[in-house]
Structures are given as C-alpha cells and as structure tokens.
Amino acid sequence: MNTSGDTAGLQDALEAADPATLLLALVQLTGERHWLETAKPFIRGPMSYQEFMPQPLRAAIRERLREVLAETARSGKPAGREADDALLREMMSVAAGEPVSDQYIAMMREDLTDDTLKSRSLKWRKLPEPAALRDAEVVIIGAGMSGLYAGMQLREAGIPFVILEKNDAVGGTWYENIYPGCGVDTPNHFYSYAFEPNHDWSHFFAKRDELWNYFEKVADKYDLRQHIRLGTEVVDARYDERDARWRVTAQGADGTERKLSARVLVSAVGVLNRPKLPDIAGLASFAGPAFHTAQWDREFDWRGKRVAMIGTGASGHQVGPGIAPEVERLMIFQRSPHWVVANPNYHEGVAAGKKWALANIPFYLRWYRFQLFWGFADGLHTALQVDPDWPHPQRSLNAVNEKHRRFMERHIRTELAERPDLLPKVIPDYPPYGKRILIDNHWFRMLTRPNVDLVTDPIEAIVPEGIRTADGRVWPADALVFATGFKVSKMLHPIDITGRDGRNLREFWGADDAKAYLGLTVPGFPNFFMLTGPNTGLAHGGNQIFMTECGVRHMMLCLRELLESGHRSIECRPEVYERYNREVDALHARMVWTHKGTTNWYRNPHGRVFAITPWRLVEYWKMTSNFDEAEYEMR
C-alpha cells in the first residue's frame, strides 16, 4: 500500500487512530519488540476506548510509523515481516491486555496473511475432471450472510451451485428487519467477511440499511446474482440413494412448483427468521395494528400514537429508543430484564482519519479485528464458566463474571440516578450472560422519559383497546409491537428434509432437539450441510460471520475429499456425531446458559442447549480447519 502521497491523510489517521492498534501495526511492520514492553503497562484491555497511553509514547509511535511507512513507500517493497510465534503471542497478549495462549497463533497468522477470498478458498490437491465438477452441483437454501459466503467459496472452487431464496432480495435478516433502530451489536469491523473488509463503515455499529448494502455489494462483486433464484422457497428435500442426489422441491411466489436435483444440499436458512408471537389470550381481538418486529409495517406511523411493545430483548432494545421520542406514549411490557453494557462506540461515527488508517496502514485493520475478536468473543469466555465454589451463584458465576456484573450494574445505577424506583425492575436477578448481553442503546435514558412506562406486571390478556395486566389495569394502546423473538427450536422449520433410508430430520432429532457434528452434518443425511446449524450460535458476543466462515471451510474440505476420491456421498459417522454432542453438552453443563435461575431461548424444553456454541471461537476454527477421514463415511 502506498501511503506516501497523502501526507494529510496520514497525519489525520495517526491522530485519529487507536494508539494501541498503531503500535501493533508498527511492531508487525518492523519486528521492533521493545515497543511492546514499553506500551504494555498502558494497555488494559482490547477495547480501543480503554486508552491510558501517555502522550509522549503516542507521539513516538506515530513518529516511528511515519518513518517506516515513508521508507516502505520509497523502497516499493511489500510492507511487514512475518512475526515468529513468540512475537505473535506477545503481540496478541498486548492487544488483549492479558496473556493469550499459543492456541491462537495459527488462526492469527492466517488472518495476517490470507486476506483475500482466493487465499482463503479451497486448494485442490488433484483437480477433478470437469464432468465430476459439473455433477457435483450444490443447492444452497438461502441468500443471507451464510448462503452468499457458501456461494463465493463454491464459485472459487469451480463447483456449480444455485442459491434458492424465499425473499425477493438477498441479505436475509438484514433485508427482512426494517424496524426503527435496527442494527448490529457486534462491531462492524469484526462483523464482516474476513477477506472483505469495509473501510467505510459510517459507524462502529452500523444500522440495517448499511449492513444490507454491504451484502448487496458482495453479491454483485462476487458475481453471485446469476446463481440466485429469488422468490423461491424450498419446501422439501429428499435424498435419493439410487443416484446419491438430493431432490429438492421449491415454490415460487406465484405458487408454481420447481423441482431440482443436486449432489449436495446446503441449508443457509438462518435461525432468527420465523417470528414467534406470544401465547396470550385475546391476541386476535386487538382493534388496531399489531405486528412483530421482523414484520414491521412500513406504513405504520407511530408519531403521536400510544404504542404497547411486548418484549425487551435485542429487537425491543432497538425499537424502544427508536420510537420513544415521537410517540405519544410507549408502554413497554417486560417479562424479565436483560443485562445491558455501556459501549462508548455504540452510537459513534467512524472518524475520517480512522477510516484512512483502516484502509491504508498495513496490518492496522487486522490487529483491530483481533482486538475486537478478543473483546467481543474469546476474551469473554472465562466470564461464562460456572465456578462450583463461587459463594453467590444467584448473582454471578465466578470472579470475572462478578466484575462484569458490577461494571454493568454501576452503569445502570448511574443512568437511573434520578429514577431509583426503576432499579428493582431493570437489574436482572440472574448472572450476566444468562441471556444475550445488550449494548446500551440509551435504553435507561429512554425509560426516564415522561411518555414511557415500564410495565412488569404480568400480561393477563390482550383486549380490543389494549393490554390488560394481572392487576386488572387496562393499558390503552393504538398499536401493538411484538418484540417477542423467533421460533428457534424448530430448526429448519418448515422445510421437510428426508435423508437416507427415509430418515426424516425432524423425527430423527425429536422435538426441539437439533444436533449436528460441528453444527454442520448429521448421520443418515449424506451430502447435507447446515450453516448456522445447531450449537453454532453465539450468545455472549462473537461474530456469526466467523462461525459461517469456519463451517463453510469444513464443508469445502468434505467436498474436496468427496470429489477427489471419486465417491458419491459423504456423511459423518454416528459415533462421531454422538461423541461431539456429548462434549457439547458436558461443556454447556458448566456454563451460564444452563445455570439455575437463567431463562433463555438457547435451551429446549428438556433443558438442553441446542442453539449456541460452548466453544471458544479459536477452538471451533481449529476443529473446522481439519478434515479427518476417520470421522466420515464415503460411499
């Protein structure tokens, strides 16, 4: 990258950029270890806003970086050098503000070097014959984040595919959700494909339109549209053993049926797209407009209206502050509160200088991603583990979890200093992370508005004029918003999938108990892969795109094995599937989501956590990066 011509841009960037991230880029460029030692005491965590570095040190980093970049530009040589393992580990530890183990070295090395789709895609050892590739056609169900990524990788590998999408546009959840305030709560510079950074995110946490545009652009850039059939909903898929192919039935928006045949079936349907309405008496009797957040009525004008919203999860947390300033009255019906964390970047725009640094300073983005990876994912893992000797299991799980609790509680108390009466309603009575942590979207400030009521009396019924609570009070409303989540436990619902020997996926799983090996494959279902499948969700933070990238990588390794060996089908062995799920369950048994006193949608009615992963991201990365032929049966 040539940074020499734009001195004003560089100047601006060096001022605006995070000094810890600049320091890491500098060490990566020069191998000068001493910077780490000097800066270490001032880096207390991975977040860019936790900066304690003294000005003279910041200035010295900027000055040295300026020299190095000028020298790189003059020499025309590629920037940077490969850090040895010890240096990489040291850099990661400085970035994280705590010791990072060797486990992360390989993953980080890949991130620093393989930053294009080509470099991250499948390498054939023996290129299959064109006829074999043609015969390997893949049907992908869904053109959201996962389906698009699977398409990109298949295209790179030369395997034909078609993506069937029920909606009339790509983008999945980011297309469907249009409710006011809709956006992401994983930072964008992390929540993006690893090889497709967007240096121009307007905010650290973008809103829906910008996210949807990102996926739209990706579909164009990687020429995926010719493979996508919009308005085409898959109804069922049956595996035909005679020729080892999937027979897929889909329906067009006009009801016309389409039959397809494919060697491989990939589900990329997502998990958060079948709205769940609450089971409340009188639901249909309400006289005004009533809709779910994911089916927001575009025509609905909330200004001057009395709106009742049921649910205070991630969606409700965005809708509430999004409409409160303009409604006449907002009545929020809360069944249980969420833990909410403050993040100073949540509403911040990305300064021009920072964008310049992300785009132009070598390794800046990659190290920034690692900081976010740590701060929003693996660095939180300790906080999720139950310490059996912890004396206050009802309020926290362990010492780190307790620290997080105090941090969040302090924030809530500060925000509600003028309204202490609200504290008993909003401070959860279960440990942090029991439900998904929310980032404070000015929620507590919103609760203090004179036109907002937080109602915690249980709902008894919905009546034509509003909502009646158990105390007999009727809350009159002009409109009802259901921020009540999704039907998650019926994974892949309503698609009917039948594998080998007539094995039906739903029956095989039993009620609400989806399982898979690596979240991807199920015995008896040859050549079938699920992206964002069972136990691959992330509830403590993390980045769902990362999980999809891992899943697709493993799927591609399976396909390589299948095609190079000339077999017609591949499926995981039952004992591998069983062993893996036993491990998942054993890990979950010691984690927050099964802890007494927590309620969440990650568990099925039998108490088994089926939706989210117990692994650190690095562990999932490692497991999915390998292919072990002993785990699969090929025919």
Binding positions for ligand NAP, rule: CB under 6 A: 183-185, 272, 278-280, 293, 310-316, 318, 333, 335-336, 435-436, 459, 483-486, 599, 601
Nearer Cβ to ligand NAP, position 281 or 417?
281
Nearer Cβ to ligand NAP, position 158 or 278?
278
Nearer Cβ to ligand NAP, position 93 or 600?
600
Q: At closest approach, how far in Å is the CB of 427 from ligand NAP?
A: 15
Nearer Cβ to ligand NAP, position 167 or 484?
484
Beta bridge partners of 494: none
Q: At closest approach, how far in Å is the CB of 486 from ligand NAP?
A: 6
Closest Cα partner for 273 from 433, 139, 142?
142
Closest Cα partner for 442 from 321, 316, 307, 315?
321
Nearer Cβ to ligand NAP, position 491 or 563?
491
Task: Report how far apart, in Å, the C-alpha atoms of 440 and of each of 86, 311, 316, 444 are.
Answer: 38, 16, 12, 8
Cα(206)–Cα(196) distance, rounded to whole angstroms? 16
Q: At closest approach, how far in Å is the CB of 282 from ligand NAP?
A: 13
Peptide bond into 54 cis (omega under 30): no
Helices and strands of the chain, counted as H and E runs: 21, 21
Cα(572)–Cα(414) distance, rounded to whole angstroms? 52
Contact 441, 317 (CB under 8 A): yes
Nearer Cβ to ligand NAP, position 266 or 314?
314
- Residue 404: phi and psi, rounded to 5, are -65, -40
The C-alpha angle with vertex 178 and arms to 448 and 537, in degrees rounded to 5, equals 90
Q: Provide the token pair at 354.
A: 């920072």
Three-state SS at 333: strand
Q: At closest approach, how far in Å is the CB of 539 from ligand NAP?
A: 7
Q: At closest approach, how far in Å is the CB of 491 from ligand NAP?
A: 15
Q: At closest approach, how far in Å is the CB of 558 from ligand NAP?
A: 28
Cα(261)–Cα(239) distance, rounded to whole angstroms? 10
Nearer Cβ to ligand NAP, position 215 or 580?
215
Q: At closest approach, how far in Å is the CB of 458 from ligand NAP?
A: 8
In one-letter notation, the amino acid at residue 464 is: P
- HEC string for 510-576: CCCCCCCECCCECCCCCCEEECCCCCCECCCCCCHHHHHHHHHHHHHHHHHHHHHHCCCCEEECHHH
Nearer Cβ to ligand NAP, position 7 or 599?
599
Q: At closest approach, how far in Å is the CB of 469 from ligand NAP?
A: 11
Nearer Cβ to ligand NAP, position 260 or 531?
531
- Residue 109: phi and psi, rounded to 5, are -60, -40
Nearer Cβ to ligand NAP, position 183 or 533?
183
Nearer Cβ to ligand NAP, position 97 or 311?
311
Q: At closest approach, how far in Å is the CB of 276 from ligand NAP?
A: 7
Q: At closest approach, how far in Å is the CB of 309 from ligand NAP?
A: 9
Q: At closest approach, how far in Å is the CB of 101 from ligand NAP?
A: 28
Nearer Cβ to ligand NAP, position 116 or 599?
599
Three-state SS at 418: coil
Nearer Cβ to ligand NAP, position 157 or 184?
184
Cα(285)–Cα(204) distance, rounded to whole angstroms? 42
Pairing of strands 466-469, 474-476: antiparallel
Q: Provide the token pair at 377.
A: 């994912």
8-state DSSP, 448: T
Residue number of the CB closest to ligand NAP reads: 313
Nearer Cβ to ligand NAP, position 279 or 418?
279
Helix (H) or strand (E) holding 306: strand 306-310
Q: At closest approach, how far in Å is the CB of 320 from ligand NAP?
A: 11
Q: At closest approach, how far in Å is the CB of 289 from ligand NAP?
A: 19
Cα(562)–Cα(72) distance, rounded to whole angstroms? 45
CA torsion sign for 114, 350, 92, 406 is negative
8-state DSSP, 46: S
Contact 483, 271 (CB under 8 A): no
Contact 513, 340 (CB under 8 A): no
Cα(126)–Cα(121) distance, rounded to whole angstroms? 15
Q: At closest approach, how far in Å is the CB of 284 from ligand NAP?
A: 15
